[in-house]
A and B are shown apart, each in its own frame.
Chain A
């Protein structure tokens, strides 16, 4: 009797504790989501004091997948942005974490310092790099390149320009052109990497703490060098952490908006920018909603693939 009463009380308490959050989530997440889903099957455009809606079935989705000439280029450039950023962040993040995992004077201080880029607001980061990349003689990157004699003193590079990288290289140039890659995109990838890598470093450092020192000692006795230790001990044991980083970063990169919008407005049409342009600039709510669901599907699909690829018992 006593136990069941206790259970009943617990159930009532848990419902009470959950209800504020659930109410908020139902009202501001679930309901708008359902509404967006509904909108995605409508042709919806604003008129004075309301919106005109007409049911069009799957037309909005079909429009993007078949007839829009903006959608697939946008998918390509988003995929390029995501994959290249992810690769750089992971390699740089793991390398930095391995360095900072060593003993050296001032280690605590340096570990604190690397948090700074992570804390800088995205908008400040965007405008800061825009200023660094300024394409004339007062741009800091141009100045640095000249001081280091990489650029001749009278040349000013337009870093945020639209020239296709790897010009003249046989297969690479057409590929870059097809993907919609420009120098500006590469510069934005660097700017974004600067801000985000500290997060990767922190997570990898936390993961490194869980690897027992004895494994490395045993490997040293067996004569394993740095690379063998890295590929046979460190990376396999970091798998859970790397899975988390991959999932978190992929979804953030795939929906990127802020930094590209602030620096380039609509000139680099990744999916986030394209959705904003269609939904909020041209006010085609139905199409915008459909596109945003396509992005969400992409992200969920990617997360599912990762979890299938990396899933181990301890990973989740």
Chain B
């Protein structure tokens, strides 16, 4: 091979290497652009809500072309929400309290009842197991609105009967009623997800515990439940978020501070004539903080729960 040919070959390979390097570089840039686009799309709306929540009303309604960030950032929008001398403040504090109480109660009830049922369905002989599981699934598919109308009629009948016998107790506009109604769509969900978790735990572990002299129940409480702690946490959080998020039932069955929930409070803020976007942003940020913090803290568990409930089925 003469020098010229050798040099040509060298040049060719280095050209190819260059091309590969450029392709590699382009891929990296493309990936970076895509990742940045995803981050911006994900964060931009919620960031705008956060910015709006610390902006005075007068600046909120100025021209957006030049005015994005508040010149005089303020916490006044948040203070209004906790100002108990005003109606808005009272209503917000009650809504926050009610939402916390209702969501926690629903979570506890569904987690206790649902876990036991899920264990039975996953591990024990149950008559008509297949039919039971299928009907649980179809309950999940029902639109909430299907249950709303019978609920409404039944609730008003019960309340009327209670009123006639002179009872102080009634269902409409109480937290108790909402707790019952929320279990309708959350219990089935909890059973479904916990079943997935229990099925993923090898049954040999349980058998080993049984050989060591545990009864079924002891095995459940001493071996299976501790092992499925991540599942319990994930399911609990998901149940809490479902209850925290619910709107339609609260819209129909609550009126006063006694039972109003945060979603309803936020939906009602402002009116046809007043756009209370300062208040909406502040209340919205506060309503979003608990679920977002929970989601970020327990991210791994939640992803597990979501995929266990749906992928493994």
Q: Which residues of B contact A17 (CB under 8 A)?
A: 116-117, 119-120, 124
Q: Which residues of B contact A276 (CB under 8 A)?
A: 145, 148, 248
- B65 lies within 8 A of A153 (CB): yes
Q: Which residues from 263 to 285 on chain B have a C-beta closer than 8 Å to any C-beta of chain A?
A: 263-264, 266-267, 269, 275, 277, 280-281, 284
Q: Which residues of A contact B101 (CB under 8 A)?
A: none
For the complex, is B60 an interface residue (Cβ under 8 Å from A)?
yes
- B147 lies within 8 A of A244 (CB): no
Give the contacting residue for B157; candidates A9, A50, A140, A299; CB below 8 A.
Answer: A50
Q: Which residues of B contact A240 (CB under 8 A)?
A: 311
For the complex, is A288 an interface residue (Cβ under 8 Å from B)?
yes
Count class of interface residues, chain B: 35 or more
Give the contacting residue for B292; candidates A33, A119, A132; CB below 8 A.
Answer: A119
Kindly name the residue among A17, A100, A126 whose own CB sees the greatest number of chain B CB atoms within 10 A: A17
- B291 lies within 8 A of A147 (CB): no
B59: nearest chain-A partner, CB-CB: A138
Query: Do A121 and B280 contact each other (CB < 8 Å), given the known contacts A32-B147, A33-B146, A138-B62?
Result: no
Closest Cβ–Cβ distance, residue B82 to chain A (whole Å): 18
For the complex, is A146 an interface residue (Cβ under 8 Å from B)?
yes
- A119 lies within 8 A of B141 (CB): no
A36: nearest chain-B partner, CB-CB: B150
For the complex, is B258 an interface residue (Cβ under 8 Å from A)?
no
- A14 lies within 8 A of B126 (CB): yes
Query: Do A206 and B121 contact each other (CB < 8 Å), given the known contacts A147-B65, A255-B143?
Result: no
- B299 lies within 8 A of A115 (CB): yes
**When chains A and B are docked, how far (Å) is the Cα of A111 from the Cα of B302?**
13
For the complex, is B287 an interface residue (Cβ under 8 Å from A)?
yes
For the complex, is A310 an interface residue (Cβ under 8 Å from B)?
no
**When chains A and B are docked, how far (Å) is the Cα of A315 from the Cα of B168?**
53
- Quick one: CB contact mask for B56-93 with A, threshold 8 Å, 1 for yes? 00001111110010000000000000000000000000
Q: Which residues of B contact A7 (CB under 8 A)?
A: 125
Give the contacting residue for A21; candidates B116, B288, B294, B303; CB below 8 A.
Answer: B116
Which stretch from B2-10, B15-23, B36-44, B228-236 is at the chain A interface?
A: B36-44
Count class of interface residues, chain A: 35 or more
Closest Cβ–Cβ distance, residue B254 to chain A (whole Å): 13
Q: Which residues of B contact A176 (CB under 8 A)?
A: none
For the complex, is A29 an interface residue (Cβ under 8 Å from B)?
yes
Task: Give chain B's interface residues, CB within 8 Å of chain A.
Answer: 31-32, 34-35, 38-39, 41-43, 45-46, 48-49, 52, 60-65, 68, 112-114, 116-117, 119-121, 124-126, 138-139, 141-154, 156-157, 160, 180-181, 183-184, 187-188, 191, 216-217, 241, 244-245, 247-248, 251-252, 262-264, 266-267, 269, 275, 277, 280-281, 284, 287-288, 291-292, 294-296, 299, 302-303, 306-307, 310-311, 313
Q: Which 4 A-B pairs have the closest CB atoms?
A: A143-B64, A255-B143, A14-B124, A21-B117
28 A-B contacts, Cβ less than 8 Å apart?
Answer: A9-B216, A13-B216, A14-B124, A17-B120, A18-B116, A21-B187, A24-B113, A35-B150, A36-B149, A96-B38, A104-B35, A114-B38, A116-B295, A117-B45, A122-B245, A123-B266, A127-B284, A132-B48, A138-B63, A146-B65, A194-B41, A202-B303, A206-B303, A257-B144, A275-B145, A280-B148, A285-B149, A296-B143
